[in-house]
A and B are shown apart, each in its own frame.
Chain A
Amino acid sequence: MLRIDDLSKRFDSGVKALETVTLTVGQSEIVSLVGTSGCGKSTLLRIVGGLDFPTSGSVLIDDEPVAAPRPEIGIVFQEPRLMPWLSVADNVKFGIEDQPRPVKDELATAALAKVGLTGFAEALPRQLSGGMAQRVAIARALVTRPSILLLDEPFSALDAFTRLKLQDHLLQTWEFDRPTMLFVTHDIDEALVLSDRIIVMRGHPGRIHQEYTVDLPRPRRRTDAAFQLWKERLLTDLDLSVEA
């Protein structure tokens, strides 16, 4: 279980990014953080991942505070961030370097199969399209079998078709180990397709503005009337003309 407790963050520059954020995410739950840019959602994710530090408050994983990156957390960034000199397979193995070779090979093969990239193991990152590269990044994060997967706008740099495909893909992949997922996005459709719960953040510094439990049955179809209704509701609440 992931618990974010009364968390605030002020950067060295004096800019306040987050204020008194409290949030609990259950085992295998998929939670999206949505909000306008600059509302601190990515900062929150980085703090959860141990890459940044809160000014006050804490992040607890199974009641243990997070102070640095931890093995049970996997992170997928906005960019694939693959090592350009490593093959696809070696990139996937990046986080399991200390394991014996046959184990590494087996895990990497399995992870690549999960993201549908069997046969590309020996390719180099420069030979991949943006979507394929992001799938390799997801495989790299999954290969350690994290219990918590953090995704920071992982599909925002991709074109619309690729994005739709990878959203469905992510859900299929999630089925294997069912990690807890915390997903930052500014795409409402994306949040609705993926999430059990949607947290809307607003303001400077960012606060939790609203929380929704999405009760749409899965698999969700973007064209369903109920889906559209949800979308309308969220868009109304997010009304960007009103400053928080």
Chain B
Amino acid sequence: MTALAPSQSDANAPRLVRGGGRGGRNRPALGRGKGLLLPVLLLVLWEALSRFGVFAPNLLPAPSKVLGAIADLAVTGELLEHIAITLYRVALGFLIGGAAATLLGAATGYSRTARELLDPLLQSLRNIPSIAWVPLFILWLGIYEASKVTLIATGVFFPVYLNLMSGIQNVDRKLVEVGRVYRLSGLQLVRRVLLPATLPTYIVGLRSGLGLGWMFVVAAEYMGASKGLGFLLVDGQMTGRPQIIIGSIALFAIFGKLTDLLLATVGERFLTWQDSFSSNHTRASADAADR
């Protein structure tokens, strides 16, 4: 932690403590784990109730059974394949959808002409339910990877596009004017004012895009796959193995959370400057310096 103080060693000098960084930096270790408390408690309860026969094993198998089934898959190496292909599809769809959304969102946010031209069309496409695309994508792109990745990319596209466009449109006009005072070119203005100012909403867009990516990968793998966590889900249903169904749901939750955490952590590094309720910074006695 860096403490900043004016050069004079005045005892009354204001001290600024650099805030930002990770949310729970100064909290005791116990505080960080608080979010795990309830899930662990529920798991224990679930296990106990299953063992006492309250839950029918063919409807809701015990957590230990689920874990066992997943472990069996892991031992044969099959699980890794499923996870890898699903991650690959989400990653590729996220990259393609995110990139397209970034380009179009930047264009429609920055240029009025582009907005008037493109936005009405994109907004109406947004209202089409994801599953409705499935037959069309299969018809056009076949049943293999291309149609799946396209479906995921479609899901990722809209939140990223919307957030970026509105983010750019909502950049403080007054900051843009500072850019004008210093005679920044269009590109310089984008790089030095618009882009950093838009970053917070852009990251929100990327995170919700990734969330939709995970939703759409299930839809994509439902529509016919021989591998992947979504396939595992369907397979569990077909073969009457509820432990596999629950296991794949849990794996979706875990990987969805992990990838979101990754994105959030990367994002936070760029957003330490934000003055928000959650950034628990210390403004302390800065006002005193004016007196």
Binding site for B on A (CB under 8 A): 49, 51, 68-69, 71, 75, 77, 79, 81, 83-86, 94-95, 97, 117-120, 122-132, 158, 161-162, 165-166
Q: Which residues of chain B from 234 to 291 have any CB-CB distance to chain A below 8 Å in the complex?
A: 272-275, 281-283, 286-291
Contact A165/B291 with A85-B196, A119-B6 known, Cβ cut-off 8 Å:
yes
* Chain B positions within 8 Å of A127 at CB level: 4, 16, 18-19, 281-283, 286
Q: How many pairs, one residue from A and one from B, have CB atoms within 8 Å of each other in the complex?
A: 98
Q: Are A124 and B273 in contact (CB-based, < 8 A)?
A: yes
Q: Are A69 and B181 in contact (CB-based, < 8 A)?
A: yes
Determine if B182 is an interface residue (Cβ-Cβ < 8 Å): yes
Give the nearest-CB partner of B177 in chain A.
Answer: A51
CA distance A18 to B288 in the complex (A): 40
Q: Are A129 and B16 in contact (CB-based, < 8 A)?
A: no
Q: Are A118 and B7 in contact (CB-based, < 8 A)?
A: yes
CA distance A182 to B136 in the complex (A): 65
Cβ-defined partner of B180 (8 Å) among A69, A79, A162: A69
* Chain B positions within 8 Å of A129 at CB level: 283, 286-290
Give the nearest-CB partner of B193 in chain A.
Answer: A83
Q: Are B290 and A77 in contact (CB-based, < 8 A)?
A: no
Interface of A (DSSP majority class): loop
Cβ-defined partner of B177 (8 Å) among A81, A128, A166: A81
Cβ-defined partner of B290 (8 Å) among A86, A122, A161: A161
Give the nearest-CB partner of A121 in chain B.
Answer: B4
Cβ-defined partner of B16 (8 Å) among A69, A118, A120, A162: A120
The 5 closest A-B pairs by CB, nearest first: A126-B275, A131-B290, A119-B6, A129-B287, A162-B290
Q: Are B181 and A49 in contact (CB-based, < 8 A)?
A: yes
Q: Are A71 and B183 in contact (CB-based, < 8 A)?
A: yes
Q: Are A118 and B196 in contact (CB-based, < 8 A)?
A: no
CA distance A85 to B271 in the complex (A): 8
Q: Are B174 and A77 in contact (CB-based, < 8 A)?
A: yes
Q: Are A83 and B196 in contact (CB-based, < 8 A)?
A: yes
Cβ-defined partner of B6 (8 Å) among A95, A118, A166: A118
* Chain A positions within 8 Å of B192 at CB level: 83, 94, 97
Give the nearest-CB partner of B276 in chain A.
Answer: A126
Determine if B2 is an interface residue (Cβ-Cβ < 8 Å): yes
* Chain B positions within 8 Å of A125 at CB level: 273, 275
Contact A122/B274 with A127-B283, A129-B290 known, Cβ cut-off 8 Å:
no
CA distance A130 to B286 in the complex (A): 9
Give the nearest-CB partner of B272 in chain A.
Answer: A124
* Chain A positions within 8 Å of B6 at CB level: 117-120
Q: Mark B1-26, 1 if CB is under 8 A from A, else 0.
A: 01011111000000010111000000
Contact A51/B181 with A83-B193, A126-B273 known, Cβ cut-off 8 Å:
yes
**What's the minimum C-beta distance from B256 to chain A, rounded to whole angstroms?**
29
Cβ-defined partner of B4 (8 Å) among A83, A122, A158: A122
**What's the minimum C-beta distance from A73 to chain B, rounded to whole angstroms?**
8
Q: Are B7 and A119 in contact (CB-based, < 8 A)?
A: yes
**What's the minimum C-beta distance from B46 to chain A, rounded to whole angstroms?**
45
CA distance A95 to B183 in the complex (A): 9
Contact A68/B4 with A83-B196, A127-B286 known, Cβ cut-off 8 Å:
no
29 intermolecular pairs with C-beta atoms under 8 Å apart: A68-B183, A81-B174, A83-B178, A83-B192, A85-B197, A85-B273, A94-B182, A95-B181, A97-B182, A97-B192, A119-B6, A119-B7, A122-B4, A123-B4, A124-B18, A124-B273, A126-B19, A126-B273, A126-B274, A126-B275, A127-B18, A127-B282, A127-B283, A130-B287, A131-B287, A132-B286, A132-B289, A161-B290, A162-B291
* Chain B positions within 8 Å of A69 at CB level: 180-183
CA distance A84 to B200 in the complex (A): 12
* Chain B positions within 8 Å of A95 at CB level: 181-182
CA distance A119 to B281 in the complex (A): 19
Q: Are B4 and A120 in contact (CB-based, < 8 A)?
A: yes
* Chain B positions within 8 Å of A132 at CB level: 286, 289-290
Q: Are A84 and B274 in contact (CB-based, < 8 A)?
A: yes
**What's the minimum C-beta distance from B267 to chain A, rounded to whole angstroms?**
13
